[in-house]
């Protein structure tokens, strides 16, 4: 096949896939709402669950990944002198380690806040 024909075929397939995805999401949302109405439940009463610590979690994950990337870069140029091209594992490993550390710190902060709120609730009783 010619590259021009492949490009046209690709545009058609991507457009059709996008349309079907949007149609499927809307269709399933309407079916869910109708099922809730059949069971005498108001669909507007259900609000998405709030995640108060979501920004903290993403922030610490990205900060950890950035710190891991920076340390991998420093190690690559200081220890390996930038000559070794097989240090991809170093970058991936340090990004994963520091990203995981960021998520762990986020978990500890969230747990401490939840426990503090429970202690305050118990003291009021």
**Total domains, the chain:** 2
Is the pTM for the entire model greater than 0.75?
A: no
What is the pLDDT averaged over residues 22-30? 96
Instruction: Let me know whether 30 and 68 are in one domain.
Output: no
Whether residues 8 and 32 share a domain: the answer is yes
* Phi/psi at 31 (5° precision): -65, -40
Task: Residue 66: give the domain boundaries.
Answer: 54-124
66 pLDDT tier (thresholds 50, 70, 90): very high
Same domain membership, residue 39 and residue 17:
yes
Q: Are residues 59 and 116 in the same domain?
A: yes
Residue-wise pLDDT tens digits, 105-114: 999 999 999 8
Spatial distance between the Cα atoms of 72 and 35, rounded to a whole number of angstroms: 52
Task: Using the predicted structure, report yes or no on whether residue 70 has a pLDDT greater than 90.
Answer: yes
Share of the chain above pLDDT 90, in %: 57
Q: What is the mean pLDDT of residues 92-96?
A: 94
The answer for residues whose C-beta is within 8 angstroms of residue 122's C-beta and 6 or more apart is none
């Amino acid at each position: 096949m010619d590259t021009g024909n492949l490009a046209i075929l690709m545009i058609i397939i991507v457009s059709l896939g996008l349309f079907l995805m949007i149609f499927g999401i809307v269709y399933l949302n309407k079916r869910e709402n109708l099922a809730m109405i059949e069971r005498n439940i108001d669909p507007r009463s259900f609000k998405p669950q709030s995640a108060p610590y979501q920004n903290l979690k993403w922030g610490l994950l990205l900060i950890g990944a950035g710190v891991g990337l920076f340390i991998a870069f420093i190690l690559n140029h200081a220890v390996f002198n930038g000559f070794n091209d097989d240090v991809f594992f170093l970058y991936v490993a340090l990004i994963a380690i520091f990203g995981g550390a960021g998520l762990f710190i986020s978990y500890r902060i969230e747990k401490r806040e939840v426990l503090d709120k429970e202690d305050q609730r118990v003291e009021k009783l």
